[in-house]
Structure 1
Amino acid sequence: MLKCADLTERFQHADTRLTKVEALAEGAVKPPGIVEAMPAHCVVSGAMEERTSPVDGKRYAISFEMRLPTAWNGRFFYQANGGLDGFVTPAYGDTLGGGPRSNALQRGFAVISSDAGHALERNVPGIGGGTFGIDPQARLNYGYQAVAKLTPMAHALIARYYGRPADTSYLVGTSNGGRHGFVAAARDTGRYDGIAVVTPGWRLPRAALAQVWGAQQFAKAAPIDAKTGRPDLKASISAADMALVSARVLAHCDALDGLVDGIVADTIACQRQFDIQRDVPTCAAAAPNDGCLSTAQKTALAAVFAGPTLRDGRAVYAPLAWDAGLRGTDWRTWKLEHSVGPRDAVAMAYVFSTPPASPTVVSGQGTTLQDFALGLDVERGIGIVDAVAAPYTESAMQFMTPPDAQRMASFVARGAKLLVAHGVADPVFSALDSVNWYEAFRAHHGASTERTTRLYLVPGMNHSRGGIATDQFDLLTPLVAWVERGEAPQALIATARGPGSNLPNPELPANWSAQRTRLLCPFPQVARYRGQGDGELAANFHCVAP
């Protein structure tokens, strides 16, 4: 094993430059929510493929950070970023779920994180950091190539530092990081032994288009802002309105699992059981009152949950799932703010459109991101995410999505393992899209599906974490046990993050136990109450076929 400082002179890899190497003592860093001391480790920062774009004239590189623990367990962990990437998060190895109590580095993994080939320009007025999409190569790196390029470099750095290669390799991520996981499995990038993802945005361009279209539906129910002359989306559906819908969902679906407990465990049955037009009272007046929604609000919500369709009847994206967690703050934030701001709108304008929009079009000088989002026709949107035009040699659907996702042929043939978890009240990437993927995967692979993958739905959880949910769970431990010892995972234990937990969830109902536990069952099984015992404990539930 080398000394940390020796890596600067003694590690070389094609088109790679180490920019900083630093040894940190035990306890030198303290990630939020992690109580136990972080181990002594070597931090390596670097850059691959430094270049100047011939298209936009900007400087690009695949920047990365690796953390190499002194007490290494022989494992490699790729920490995939969310959002538009564009930032190097500390390579601690997030184990996913809400408020994890430990991380991969603490457990002895060597961890890498990266910006996927671009740095977000957060100081660009009005348009955020999506303009990297003007550069064709930056698009490809973001989509799939950065992972493919960084993985062999990381393995080489591990072998040089420790004097031997890693025994096993894992890739873990949520949201766009979950998409990275699906893409790595489908392309068999890096030949990972195990991949764990939460909230996988595996059809991200279409999901972004559905988000923008959803904002258009809310705009129809929104008052006009007197200052801007534009729809005030935040006023279209209030937090109280969503709490009302959540309560009506619970009234019709809570007891389906055998216990009225504020959780809708039988997601699929609830979609058949609940109808917003029938089950939520309509206000007699045009303006909504307590205990009812206006006709315009119900129409908007019904459309958003059903999702957009094209003129020929084809669905653009999967419908959203009715669930009690839709009253979570995260739900309204994504639907009424991010959809027309520097997330979905900017991604559609620059990263997923071919050709990309001009920065002057949605810069806030005349036409804003909200104008772009509210004016984007869904038929045109499908065209631009499927389009190819020089110098953009791959469409957004080609470089962003996993090819042949229902097969993942090489990954499956090698016996690699994939764990997927998805919050049912995710406002961005539909949990039903993950269900559709899993059912198509199972239709192709049959009984062998059980040897390769598991899907876990997390009732009440919003985007990646939070919401009205038991959202603290661990995918890494069962994944390692499956890969290395052949112990196939069954039900997982999920815990609520009430007062006194390492990272409390302020949205949990007051009548929940602070440490409520629930079973997360492998889909299509559903957690049902056994009929006796403390309803706050997972031990009194079991997984049954629907």
Structure 2
Amino acid sequence: MPRAPLASARACGLRITATVSAACALVGLTAACNGSDDDTPAAPPAETALAVDCAAMPARAPAGMTLTATAVAAGTVVGGNPQPAHCVLNGRMNERTGADGLPYYIGFQLRLPMAWNGRFMFQGGGGNDGVVRDALGSLAGGGSIAGLKTGALAQGFAVVSTDGGHQGTSASFGLDPQARIDHAYNAYDVVTVTAKSLINTAYGRKPDRSYFVGCSGGGRQAMLFPQRFPDYFDGIAANAPAIKVAREASMASVWGLISYSAVSPVLSQALSDADLKLVSNAVLQRCDTLDRAADGIIHANPAACSFDPAVLQCTGAKTDSCLTAAQVTALKKDFAGPKNSAGQSLYASWPWDAGIAGADWRNWKLGTSTTTTPNARNATLIAADAMRLEFFTPPDPAFDYMAFNFDTDPARLDAYAAIYNTTSTDVAAFRNRGGKMLLVHGVSDAIFSANDSIDYYQRLQAAQGGAEATRNFARLYLVPGMNHCSNSGGPSTDLYDALTPLVAWVEKGEVPDRIVASAGPATPWPGRTRPLCPYPQQAHYDGAGPIDSASSFTCR
């Protein structure tokens, strides 16, 4: 597996750092770099008390690290939930002045429970990163989730998070070559090795088992490890992973913005909420009963739900019960995915699903701005920020994304995508040491297509010995109706715990043949449960039990 930066990075003109050796030198812990700290333990993870007083930990920091420590009393509410007694370490590493004259460092937070269960979890970030989030151990990578009260920290895990090697949520750090490398992969390598070293110092022993859970950008970060650092983690849960964000998915964002702006110069008005609900209802009418239950959720392989919005096109004046020809054209163009002038696809298509009426679908695709300055996240986060400042090589802060040339401009994304995207299926080293992968993706995700995760999983099967061999270490779960990341909205059961089944699979060999998810309070069916099934299986109603219970559905 690749440990050194890719040759293509040098072609970008980026300064390269030797990631693993630098991390080893920083923490002085060779075992953390050769994988011996993650060898299969002879016994299940064991509880261990904190062996070093919290206040004494900064004095144990390796040279070159700034570290502060705070003891937190049991029952203190952090992230909306009471937490166990623990020690919070906030650290800075590799402090420097960037090529842009601004200060940089790799920031992290490590929370160490006073009673440790022997497990370590890396909590992934998201967006452009740039902030150190509370390291509480989100169970699905999507932040604090109502209805999932007990995060990994509360369960006794040591948990770390990082800012990705820069400060501030703008992608302006992309003007600094080293910050680009840190955000691509280096910061996650360094923080993993550092966290394990500090854990060893704090408890007098290394972790028995290590896990990574993240969503979106955090999902991309999770996938870095089987591909680049296969001996760092025993299990990873990649939710809505940003597999191709530095190239293909960014082009898809721009493609959608251009498509809908052709309907209205005020992007948010290209489709009203009533229009989106109209489309959602029409998709449901066509595909809802494919699972034998008319329940407002399309439990079916996305490819089985064929839909053409042309069935909704007005024959006369626009009304609430039809779409204009321009709206139909924009929808069809967006859902087909970006193409160049030769008709070649540049990213995956998008599944037709009821979640198009979810608030987070609008949040990404259309926004709510009533002016010609859009606030859709695909514009503000991706097209106008990350693409121009980080993903382009060299950065082009003044680039007009509405003038993106789908024939020539993709080449400007190639160099950085080679070190940032996580498309590799070469995960044999991770698989061979017993590593497990869970991928979870909302079918109505509006920033990363669920079809792209399906494509990755199918390519993984082809590379790793076929469907059955792949199922032994990696599984993909689709969440019908769900928008981007868990608890983001859409008519779905989007409250789920990815960590617990991952741990059970790694440590007990309990194969996750289904993950039970529930509907949140904002859905039409609060408390409804459904099984999330390993692809290509989908949930099917047995025809007899309560329609709101997962027990009435089988995966087949």
Q: Same fold (TM over 0.5)?
A: yes
Mapped contact 1:267–1:424 kept (Cα < 8 A): no
Cα distance between partner residues in 2 of 1:401 and 1:410: 19
Of 307, 311, 321, 1:274 maps to 307
C-alpha distance in 1 between matches for 2:303 and 2:132: 41
Q: Distance in 1 between matches of 2:429 and 2:383?
A: 32
CA distance in 1, matches of 2:161, 2:473: 25
Pair 1:377-2:405 in alignment? yes
Bigger shift: residues 96-105 or 254-263 = 96-105
Q: 2:149 aligns with which of 101, 120, 144?
A: 101
Q: Partner residue of 1:503?
A: none
Structure 2 counterpart of 1:368? none
Aligned to 1:489: 512
- Partner SS, residue 432 of structure 1: helix
1:237 corresponds to: 271
Q: Which residue is equivalent to 1:357? A: 396
The one of 375, 379, 385 equivalent to 1:346 is: 385
CA RMSD of aligned residues (A): 1.4
Q: 1:264–1:270: 8 Å Cα contact kept in structure 2? A: no
User: How many angstroms apart in 1 are the aligned matches of 2:345 and 2:390?
Assistant: 22
Indicate whether 1:131 and 2:202 are aligned: no
Q: How does 1:10-89 map to 2 (within 5 A)?
A: 10-12=60-62, 15-18=64-67, 20-32=68-80, 34=81, 37-53=82-98, 55-89=99-133
Contact persistence 1:494–1:517 (CA under 8 A): yes
Specify the alignment match of 1:117 in structure 2: 165
Shift of 1:45: 0.4
Cα distance 1:270–1:284, how it changes in 2: closer, same or farther (>3 A)?
farther
Residue 262 of structure 2: aligned partner: 220
1:459 and 2:486 equivalent?
no
SS at structure 2 position matched to 1:67: strand
Q: Distance in 2 between matches of 1:189 and 1:62?
A: 22
Q: Which amino acid aligns with 1:436?
A: D
The reply to whether residue 450 of structure 1 matches residue 483 of structure 2 is no
Would the alpha carbon gap of residues 409 and 15 (structure 1) be closer, same or farther in structure 2, given more than 3 Å must change?
Answer: farther
Structure 1 position 331 matched with structure 2 position 375: no
Corresponding position: 1:257 with 2:278: no
CA separation of 1:291 and 1:267: change in aligned 2, threshold 3 A: farther
For residues 258 and 499 of structure 2, what CA distance do their matches in structure 1 show? 39
User: Residue in 2 aligned with 1:146?
Assistant: 187
One of 252, 274, 297 as aligned partner of 1:210: 252
Name the CA distance, whole Å, in 2 between partners of 1:323 and 1:342.
24
TM-score by length of 1: 0.87
The match for 1:306 is: 336
CA contact (8 A) 2:341 2:406 kept: no
Judge conservation of contact 2:302–2:443 (CA < 8 Å) in 1.
Answer: no
Query: Which residue identity does 2:239 align to in structure 1?
Result: V
Residue correspondence of structure 1 range 140-219 to structure 2 within 5 A: 140-188=181-229, 191-205=232-246, 206-219=248-261
Output the CA distance in 2 between the equivalents of 1:536 and 1:431. Answer: 25
Counterpart residue identity of residue 86, structure 2: H
Deviation at 1:27, TM superposition (A): 1.6
Cα distance in 1 between the residues matched to 2:126 and 2:297: 27
* Cα displacement string for residues 17-46 of structure 1 (whole angstroms, at most 9, x for unaligned residues): 21x2110101223323x3xx3100000001
Asked whether the equivalents of residues 218 and 238 of structure 2 are also in contact (C-alpha less than 8 Å), the reply is yes
401, 406, 410: which one aligns with 2:429 = 410
Matched position secondary structure for 1:207:
helix
1:3 lines up with 2:53 in the alignment: yes
Alpha-carbon deviation of 1:218?
0.4
Q: What residue ranges of structure 2 are gaps of 5+ in the alignment? A: 1-50, 367-375
Match of 1:124 in 2: none
- Counterpart residue type for residue 381 of structure 1: D
449, 452, 476: which one aligns with 2:499: 476
2:389 partner amino acid = Y
**Contact 1:334–1:428 (CA under 8 A) maintained in structure 2:** yes
CA distance in 2, matches of 1:342, 1:519: 33
CA drift at 1:339: 1.9
Q: What is the CA-CA distance between 1:189 and the residue it aligns to?
A: 5.3
Secondary structure, counterpart of 1:317 in structure 2: coil
Counterparts of 1:383 and 1:6, CA distance in 2:
51
For the residue of structure 2 that corresponds to 1:380, the secondary structure is coil
Q: Which residue of 2 aligns with 1:367?
A: none
Q: Is the 2:230–2:427 Cα contact (8 Å) retained in structure 1?
A: no
- Are the equivalent residues in 1 in contact too, given 2:302–2:352 (CA < 8 A)? no
Residue 540 (str. 1) matches residue 549 (str. 2): no
Shift of 1:451: 1.5
Query: Residue type matched to 2:138 in 1?
Result: D
CA contact (8 A) 1:193 1:416 kept: yes
Moved over 3 A (4+): none
**Aligned-partner SS, 2:408:** helix
Whole-Å Cα distance in 1 between the matches of residues 282 and 425 of structure 2?
A: 35
Gaps of 5+ in 1: 122-128, 223-230, 363-371, 387-394, 499-505
SS in 2 for 1:66: strand
Deviation track 1:317-354 (CA, whole Å, cap 9, x = no partner) reads 11111000110011011012112223442111001001
Amino acid at match of 1:68: L
